Amino acid sequence: MSRAGVFISFEGIDGAGKSTHIESLAAAFTAQGRAVTLTREPGGTPLAEKLRAMVLNDAMDPLTEALLIFAARRDHLLQVIEPALARGDVVLCDRFTDATFAYQGGGRGFDGPTLHTLEQWVQATPAVQPGVRQPDLTLWFDLPPETAAQRLAGARVPDRFEAQPVEFFQRVADGYAARARAAPQRFARIDASRSRHEVWQQITATLVRRGWLSIMVSAQSGPR
Ligand code: TYD
């Protein structure tokens, strides 16, 4: 029996602690026999990774930044995400369009209606499904910007976003909250200020509730 693909995105401000959980979730899905495509934005294809390097390192105006991010997304969707969903994979994507609304919209103050237009163009997949491609579930790692800043302090050389002050991340966090209010069925808020184990429990409970992860596999897995 062929299984339907599942598209899950991971969001939150820098320092929210998504990375280890994405890896663990990939392992948990693999353990229950699912094929997993693990990917990220900006990036996920050779072209989109080149665009990522520019966006994270080169100075540019906000419209150029938004256009490069959406160009990378278009390539990623067509080359990686849509084919993986068509095969029936679980696609785990470290950030997707909500990050653009949070960082470029909230953080940079870029014009929301323009982002909505780009979202409609770039995520339209008429050959595959009518409408606009969105994740089936977005795990939103929510925590206060001050806590995230403490976690990030001294961790590595910051990129153009990580180098921003705490006020920027407050606007990014507000941007995520607004997206979550607009799509409450798609968003699951994870309290990322809790211990790593408690965060993992919140994630697996969400996936078990949706019928995508078995209780047994979720109990045996988790970040080390
Ligand atoms: P991140 O996902 O945190 O990767 P890493 O853990 O390797 O640093 O980094 C990507 C950065 O790009 C992050 O600071 C947020 C930013 N970003 C945007 O500004 N807009 C977007 O649409 C996306 C996807 C990411």
| pLDDT, tens only, 177-215 | 999 999 999 999 999 999 999 999 999 999 999 999 998
Probe residue for ligand 1, chosen from 51, 81, 95 as the CB with the greatest number of ligand atoms within 8 Å: 95
119 lines ligand 1 (CB under 6 A): no
Peptide bond into 223 cis (omega under 30): no
DSSP 8-state secondary structure symbol assigned to residue 153: T
Q: How many CB atoms lie within 10 A of CB 75?
A: 21
Q: Which CATH architecture has domain 6-220?
A: 3-Layer(aba) Sandwich (3.40)
- The answer to whether 75 and 21 are in contact (CB under 8 A) is no
What is the position in ligand 1's atom list of the atom closest to the CA of 40?
2
- Cα(173)–Cα(22) distance, integer angstroms: 20
- Cα(159)–Cα(17) distance, integer angstroms: 17
| pLDDT, tens only, 15-65 | 999 998 999 999 999 999 999 999 999 999 999 999 999 999 999 999 999
- Cα(53)–Cα(27) distance, integer angstroms: 28
103 lines ligand 1 (CB under 6 A): yes
Looking at per-residue pLDDT, the higher value among 219 and 59 belongs to 59
| pLDDT, tens only, 130-171 | 789 999 999 999 999 999 999 888 777 889 998 899 999 999
The beta strand positions in 13-99, using DSSP E, are 36-40, 90-94
Own/partner pairs, 128-134, CB within 8 angstroms, 24+ separation:
128/82, 128/85, 128/86, 133/7, 133/77, 133/81, 133/82, 134/7, 134/97, 134/183, 134/186
Cα-to-centroid distance, 66 and ligand 1 (Å): 12
